Structure 1
């Protein structure tokens, strides 16, 4: 029996090359049981005409499927589903399942329902995406990353690719972090004081789980990174939001008997405030007096195109009470999910054991690829290129914001990739975001960043990491026009 060519179609939004898409269509057809052993595939010419692709593309896909034993080539007869192709599981028909569980009682804990900002998956389809944390594909060095990934796939790195490190990390990546990344922030650490994580958020979760209990108290900045508030809420510790000012977290406002202080001193999230050196010293003194620990999230320190970044809080620490969180996801690409924790060996030992009970370690191939990308100088080149571009966009943003009468509530002292904005009184930034979407503009409402969402009602964040300079002015003009044209009472 021949398989009809009409069962084949290309998804216009599918990822990958045309060849890989055709391979996936055939493989999925076989694995789902729609294409059965011995059935004939459409000829390469006919399928190419049907899909509107080159015949060589279909031939290459068929050849790869033959190599993987999905298909068999029979001389001039064409291609058939192989007699040894994988078979779908033979399950008897099952009756529709009914859910008779009372999940309101069955769930021991709840992790949904937070106010973490929603990131539109289709952000790149908008002409004016002022969204934070996304990668500009025109800046990323795809060729070098691909080369490093291929190098990590080589025979020399077979162990790094295939081994179960159990609770350890790639020594090459840890060595680079210790000898190159951390010294740039004034931090000296040994391998037993570094743990590779699945991004900064995973690092914050590990720190919270190891350091906090239901009887302990954490102090967080207000406003702050929304996911951190979710993490601490889930840990069931007592959480005290501390309002920040123009210099970041005020040490004197931290309540007594605080056990752990979470802060973003170099680049406060989301206000962009930079904590001065004297306040950093005061924060360390305050923590020492309370015998509290500090978790420092040092995100975006690489984006220092306006001035040299302030020294990391960890570099000023003489007691070992600061736990440092770093990430490569912001500077490389967010999908990488690669970060690290730096702290005293006893803390890292417990964080390592906790990580091993959840997912053991970050995939070895990802770690080794990143190690090559960093050590071969590609990372530094990327940072310079990004910094130059972000500097130009920052200038364009500053000029356009002033020209259109928009109000800045906070901007980075040494750089960064966003402005913290304040709309006129009475403007709800959530409603503003909704009204801007039909105008092809994306912004981030401020409410999720605050412990009391009402305080962030007229705040919003504008990022410029993913929008070209030549679109910034027009995008800000639309924001100003929507604010002006609507009745917000």
Structure 2
């Protein structure tokens, strides 16, 4: 039996190539049982004429399907559904229950969905004024060279890196580049045994909390702080002690006695952008040596210095091995990459490596090797330089627009970064303000999630300029100022 060409159609709005659409339709038809083994496919000429595409497009699609054993070529007779093609299941799937009979209120041992975290609409790119933090800007990212590096990592030479189970190991090329090029920029010297690749900074912080904290240990956090860290520590069920930050970040003298672990964003405090002065950094290290606590340094945005060079990392000043350093490529490359790293003394990294192997083995080898090529071939440094130039222009425009519209900046970074920590007049709830601004195609980030649950602080908000074009900044800031005036 011959399959009619009219069975196929192309979607003009699809993000797939014509060849990919043909392949997908054939594969889906075989897997669902609509096309049976032995049935004859439309000729490449006839299908091409029906779809209005070049014959070579159909021929290449058929060739790929033959290679994957969906189709079989029979000389001059044409293409047929292969006798060895993947078959659909031989049982009818049962309909899913319309309502679960499980009492999930009793069945759940722990709950994670109650977190007061930041949310943004999935279609945030459709908004004209997206002042949101941490997303990749397609105008700044080097797609071409990343694609070439990904293709290189797919090559036969890197077959082992692509396909092997590393168990507890990491890609040696990526480790080498981080040790020789990334860490020295922060003044850090380390050995391969003192570094672990993670699935981003969030995974690094979670790993650290799991290893260092128990229900009887005390973690000190900055207030306000990165909301994800507070959620991690809540899940760890440790004793948490927030310490208010000032214009110099975390004050060492305010750390309570009995602290076991201190979490800090010293170089670029999240979210106020305060930079801890060098003397305060030394005082914090001296306090750690005297009182015996560990320091977890989240250096999440050091790659973007365009106002002046960042201060030395705490880890670079650490003579006791008390600092656990976390870094990430999320801000300098793209957050979907999910690659970060931990740098610490070998005994800690040994435990972190063992914990990672229990949870996920290791980050995908192909991703690690692609990143290693992108970094080692110089594309990463060019990317960071390009972002720095763009951010400098955007920040200058932000400064002028904020000043002209009379908005209040609550915290400023001293070496760059990509956001402002803002404060609205008393009485304005920025969560409600954010909802109102969405109707004007403006996205801001309310600051409520950065404070503890027992604090009713609602007047702060964050404005980031990493994802908005320079030309749109003045109009967007003007709309925010107008909305605030109308709310007072």
Question: What is the TM-score normalised by the length of structure 1?
Answer: 0.93
- Rounded to whole Å, the distance in 2 between the matches of 1:284 and 1:181 is 23
**1:467-482 counterparts in 2 under 5 A?**
467-482=468-483
- Rounded to whole Å, the distance in 2 between the matches of 1:80 and 1:389 is 54
| Residue in 1 that maps onto 2:94 | 94
Q: Deviations over 1:148-198 (max 9, x none)?
A: 222222222222122211101111111111111111101111011100111
**1:69-468 counterparts in 2 under 5 A?**
69-73=69-73, 79-94=79-94, 96-97=96-97, 99-452=100-453, 455-468=456-469
Contact 2:5 2:46 (8 Å CA) reproduced: no
Q: Deviations over 1:310-368 (max 9, x none)?
A: 11011111111000000112111111111100001000000000000011111111111
Deviation at 1:63, TM superposition (A): 3.1
Unaligned runs of 5+ residues in structure 1 are none
- Rounded to whole Å, the distance in 2 between the matches of 1:438 and 1:130 is 14
Contact 1:3 1:39 (8 Å CA) reproduced: no
Q: RMSD in angstroms over aligned alpha carbons?
A: 2.2
- Rounded to whole Å, the distance in 1 between the matches of 2:126 and 2:59 is 33
Structure 1 residues 158-167 or 193-202, which shifts more? Answer: 158-167
Alignment size in residue pairs = 486
Structure 1 residues 14-23 or 72-81, which shifts more? Answer: 72-81
Structure 1 residues 266-275 or 171-180, which shifts more? Answer: 171-180
- Rounded to whole Å, the distance in 1 between the matches of 2:331 and 2:169 is 24
Contact 1:261 1:294 (8 Å CA) reproduced: yes
**Pairing 1:66–2:72 present:** no
Deviation at 1:17, TM superposition (A): 3.0
Question: What is the TM-score normalised by the length of structure 2?
Answer: 0.93
Rate the CA distance shift 1:50–1:240 in 2: closer, same or farther, 3 A. Answer: farther
- Rounded to whole Å, the distance in 1 between the matches of 2:46 and 2:129 is 42
- Rounded to whole Å, the distance in 2 between the matches of 1:21 and 1:424 is 54
- Rounded to whole Å, the distance in 2 between the matches of 1:47 and 1:114 is 53
Q: Deviations over 1:357-387 (max 9, x none)?
A: 0111111111111111111111111111111
Deviation at 1:41, TM superposition (A): 4.8
- Rounded to whole Å, the distance in 2 between the matches of 1:74 and 1:316 is 71
- Rounded to whole Å, the distance in 2 between the matches of 1:143 and 1:290 is 51
Contact 1:219 1:241 (8 Å CA) reproduced: yes
- Rounded to whole Å, the distance in 2 between the matches of 1:329 and 1:167 is 23
| Residue in 2 that maps onto 1:33 | 33
Contact 1:217 1:257 (8 Å CA) reproduced: yes
Contact 2:304 2:384 (8 Å CA) reproduced: yes
- Rounded to whole Å, the distance in 2 between the matches of 1:301 and 1:201 is 16
Contact 2:10 2:21 (8 Å CA) reproduced: no
Contact 1:3 1:40 (8 Å CA) reproduced: no
Contact 1:3 1:35 (8 Å CA) reproduced: no
SS at match of 2:241: strand
- Rounded to whole Å, the distance in 2 between the matches of 1:77 and 1:228 is 64
SS at match of 2:24: helix
Deviation at 1:430, TM superposition (A): 1.1
Structure 1 residues 34-43 or 323-332, which shifts more? Answer: 34-43
Rate the CA distance shift 1:354–1:29 in 2: closer, same or farther, 3 A. Answer: same
Contact 2:243 2:250 (8 Å CA) reproduced: yes
- Rounded to whole Å, the distance in 1 between the matches of 2:436 and 2:218 is 40
Rate the CA distance shift 1:144–1:344 in 2: closer, same or farther, 3 A. Answer: same
- Rounded to whole Å, the distance in 2 between the matches of 1:310 and 1:75 is 70
**Pairing 1:22–2:26 present:** no
- Rounded to whole Å, the distance in 1 between the matches of 2:119 and 2:47 is 41
